[in-house]
Amino acid sequence: MSRPPEAAAVAGVHDAMGLALAEAAAALAAGEVPVGAVVLSATGELLATGHNLRERSADPTAHAEVLALRRAGEVLGDWQLTGCTLVVTLEPCTMCAGALVLARVRRLVFGAWDDKAGAVGSLWDVVRDRRLNHRPEVLAGVRAGECGALLTRFFAERR
């Protein structure tokens, strides 16, 4: 489903999504579902990258977002990613949405919507749940066409 972006453009988001798309392409080349993620510091500096590695690692938690968040925590020496931005090519699932809330990520930027498993407005809205103690800003639909095209290609080749 195509939806407009939810907020005004944020400096560097388009370029950061390009980095996430490169990570998604690496996942595609490895036979993984092509999802890529990057974490930016509060000043916009690249802290960490990640792409899906569930098949290779036999780890159900090896989603792009979780791997990028883990690496960013290692770089910062802190599990609290206050001020950071997570940029990911696909709307996060419930696990990843919960992880970014718990990590206190300031902003979530994602590309394609996931009508089957999305937890940032499609099926659930974990990141905006007022019962939780942290709610990140959300910018959705950034380079959605490019992000969705990688996923469409991947799944078309497997049918």
CA angle 146, 32, 148 (to 5 degrees): 20
- Each residue of 107-143: b (16+ CB within 10 Å) or e? bbbbbbbbeeebbbbbeeebbeeeeeeeebebbbbbb
Residue 41 tokens read as 């510091």
Residue 67 tokens read as 């791997």
Annotation says 65 is catalytic = yes
Query: Distance of alpha carbon 47 from its chain centroid, rounded?
Result: 14
Residues 6+ apart with CB under 8 A from 57: none
Neighbours of 2 (CB within 10 A): 9
Catalytic pick among 23, 32, 65, 91:
65
Task: Determine which helix (DSSP H) or strand (DSSP E) holds 144, and give its type and residue range.
Answer: helix 144-157
Catalytic residue IDs: 65
